[in-house]
Amino acid sequence: MAEELANSASHSTTEKTVPQRVTDMPLLRIEGITKRFGNFSAVNQLSLDIRAGEFFALLGPSGCGKTTLLRMLAGFEAPDEGHILLAGRDIAQVMPHERPVNIMFQNYALFPHLSVYDNIAFGLRRAGMERGEIATRVAEMVTLVKLEGMEKRKPDQLSGGQRQRVALARSLARRPQVLLLDEPLAALDKKLRESTQAELMELQRRLGMTFIIVTHDQEEAMAMASRIGVMDAGCLAQVATPRDLYEAPASRWVAEFVGDVNLFEGQVISREHGRLKVTTREAGIITVAEPRQPVTKETVTVAVRPEKIKLSRRGLASGVDALQAINRFEGEVAAINYLGGLTAYRIRLDNGAVVRSVMANTARLDLDGYGSSERVAAWFAPDDGMVLQQ
Amino acid sequence: MSTRRIFARPARYAAIAPYLWMALFFLVPFGLVLKISLSQTAIAQPPYTPVFDLSEGWQALKAAFEELSLDNFRLLLSDNLYILSYLRSLVVAATSTLILILIGYPIAYGMARLPQRWQGLAMTLVIVPFWTSFLIRVYAWINILQHDGLFNRILLALHLVSEPVTWLSTDTAMYIGIVYSYLPFMILPLYATLAKMDRALLEAAEDLGASPWKAFWLVTFPLSLPGVGAGVLLCFIPIVGEFVIPDLLAGSNSLMIGQTLWLEFFTNKDWPVASAVAIALLLLLVPPLVLYDRLQRRQVEGRH
């Protein structure tokens, strides 16, 4: 057991492995679901499959419909169209108290008149569980979220972090097939949020439960989820692993929403040897690797993440490796933002365009940093340019 | 220290105002009534002895003090007219309060669940009767409930009764009048607690397997108890001392304590006994108040 945990823990830091319980039929299948409020479609013809044991994140700006989608899964909103299949059964019109799904609310919604024990036992009592069994299960949950000795307290005698744990324990107590989490960490301060992220992941792995989390915080989604669905205006803009979302966004909107990005718009002028040449207004001719999906459009956007744009002085003396120096622009440092681990530069190119570059501060002594107004060459490798067609 | 500063001198004087008010309009009259209740009735002006007269010196004042006695309170205990009146007042107040909860709670609950923009209107509708004088509204009930009144005519028209029913001078009429008059005092505190309740709590209850009805009993109702307590207090205490409604609408065979007091004061011109009745009524209402205060405090302590 301990070995297993140690193993999975070491995995988790580098790559989130999809749990073994994955089967062909998804645990949760959302089919063409639509929810309208008046004339406004909060969720519009959305389809999504979620497998058992996944840690799935719904990410999007506020008002994108992610909370509405979650509330439809919990049963608080009935979809106007579409189906929600949980283990093959359509639950779209099933009342919330009859669904094998539980939700952890953003503001926790703990019952203020009940003790920690009674809050956690609430769902078990409704399920008609026996006294002894309830006591065992509550004790188990209390241990799980490390709240031993707090059972008799009322919610307002707890700190924010403790309340969050009670809410989690309460929603887990019934062992739901799917646990929904609505911005579960939003009310915690930064340090607590980070440690809680790790605990949530650990918990999810240990219980082998399916978690669906709604968040507007992309770092949170990236750090925890095995897959992320990015929502925009009631639709899914992309569903992918965190890495694919970042390194292969499906659209310009996703590229801009997830992380920081430099965008160069231009026309495709040639395609040869797996290389694409794009002529752009901001940066002249750019060479990028041809993407997996065939490029059908003439006008494309080349997106480059700031950390992939490297700076050098030597580039000015044309000493850079010829292969990598294909996309090379000259300019001067316009702004420097020192962020501790990283330094963000804004480079004003000679043609007036501004390019952002982020460099890791890998050494303590700043021997190689760039000064304000210093002339530099900014360059990126063809593989680091992402071709976006929409 | 900074909070001290905020309450600078003018503010500190202002804080005295409520105490001054209480002293002037509660303690002083209470003292006067208490004194009269310990006096003896007399055919004089004022109609009781002794009268404290400062002009006749210390000795006379001392003598007057010695004349005070608890005779009137003994009378209250010996004559069961008074005890029955007190009991009737308590029974009427308790019954009315119960009816008020049963009617007021659903109304307040409905109001709290209305869309936000309708809630203001509903609130106005509850308060609107106050724009008419209380006395006129009670007289209106006489009109409605009389032999050929609106109520009987509707009942006859609907063929629910074959001949007019006597409503006036019955307990039913009195209860109608009391419930009608006190309903806003029950609804408003209930509405205030129900409206500020977090709807996510109900969703949480349903999510955890409680049917809507169960969720109401396990979450909404216990959390609304402070509002119920406030409503009960606002209705029960004034109803115990109610005079106008029972006098106008109820029969004359059994009296509420307010009516007894009125009789003693205006008909019998026995100010001392009337004062004793008033003091006894006040003392009777202290226990429920203390009890309510205890409950409230326990609730507050439970939270902190």
Q: Is A157 in contact with B207 (Cβ distance < 8 A)?
A: no
Q: What is the token pair recorded at B5?
A: 């500063």
**What pTM was computed for the model?**
0.80
Which parts of chain A fold into alpha helices (H)? 2-14, 66-74, 116-126, 131-144, 160-172, 190-207, 218-224, 242-247, 252-257
Q: Which of B198, B203, B208 is opposite residue A123, by nearest beta carbon?
A: B208
Distance between CA atoms of residues B152 and A378, nearest Å: 95
Q: Which of B198, B203, B208, B304 to substitute to test the interface with A, most A CBs within 10 Å? A: B208
Say if residue A364's pLDDT is above 90.
no
Distance between CA atoms of residues A23 and A144, nearest Å: 27
Does domain B75-303 fall under CATH 1.10.3720.10? My reply is yes
Strand order of the sheet with strand A81-86? A40-50, A28-37, A81-86, A89-90
Could you give the percent of chain A with pLDDT greater than 90? Answer: 61
Confidence band (pLDDT; 50, 70, 90) for A275?
confident
Q: Is B209 in contact with A111 (Cβ distance < 8 A)?
A: no
Say if residue B100's pLDDT is above 50.
yes
CATH superfamily label, A2-100+176-252: P-loop containing nucleotide triphosphate hydrolases (3.40.50.300)
Distance between CA atoms of residues A362 and A364, nearest Å: 7
Domain boundaries, chain B: 75-303
Q: Is the peptide bond before B46 cis (omega within 30 degrees of 0)?
A: yes
Q: Is A96 in contact with B214 (Cβ distance < 8 A)?
A: no
Q: Which of A112, A126, A157 is opposite residue B208, by nearest beta carbon?
A: A126
Phi and psi, residue A58, nearest 5°: -100, 115
* Residue-wise pLDDT tens digits, A290-311: 888 788 888 999 999 999 998 8
Distance between CA atoms of residues A234 and A231, nearest Å: 6
pLDDT of residue B300: 60
Q: What is the token pair recorded at B139?
A: 């007289």
Domain boundaries, chain A: 2-100+176-252, 260-388
Interface size A-B, in CB pairs within 8 Å, comes to 68
Least confident of A65-79, A291-305, A312-326: A312-326
Considering only residues 211 to 250 of chain B, which have any Cβ-Cβ distance to chain A shorter than 8 Å? 211-212, 214-215, 218-219, 222-223
| Residues forming beta bridges with residue A179, ordered by sequence position | A102, A211
* Residue-wise pLDDT tens digits, B56-78: 778 888 888 888 888 899 999 99
- Please report residues of B whose CB lies closer than 8 A to that of A123: 208-209
Q: What is the token pair recorded at A40?
A: 């406004």
Q: Is A113 in contact with B223 (Cβ distance < 8 A)?
A: yes
Strand order of the sheet with strand A375-380? A310-312, A375-380, A327-338, A342-349, A354-360
Q: Which residue of A has its CA nearest to B304?
A: A157
Distance between CA atoms of residues B100 and B299, nearest Å: 24
Q: Confirm if B224 and B193 have CB atoms less than 8 A apart.
A: yes
Distance between CA atoms of residues A304 and A286, nearest Å: 11
**CATH, range A260-388:** 2.40.50.100
Confidence band (pLDDT; 50, 70, 90) for A20?
very low
| Residues forming beta bridges with residue A33, ordered by sequence position | A46
Phi and psi, residue B112, nearest 5°: -65, -25
Strands A101-104 and A178-182: parallel
Q: Does B201 touch chain A (CB under 8 A)?
A: yes
- How high is the ipTM of this complex? 0.80
| Residues forming beta bridges with residue B254, ordered by sequence position | none
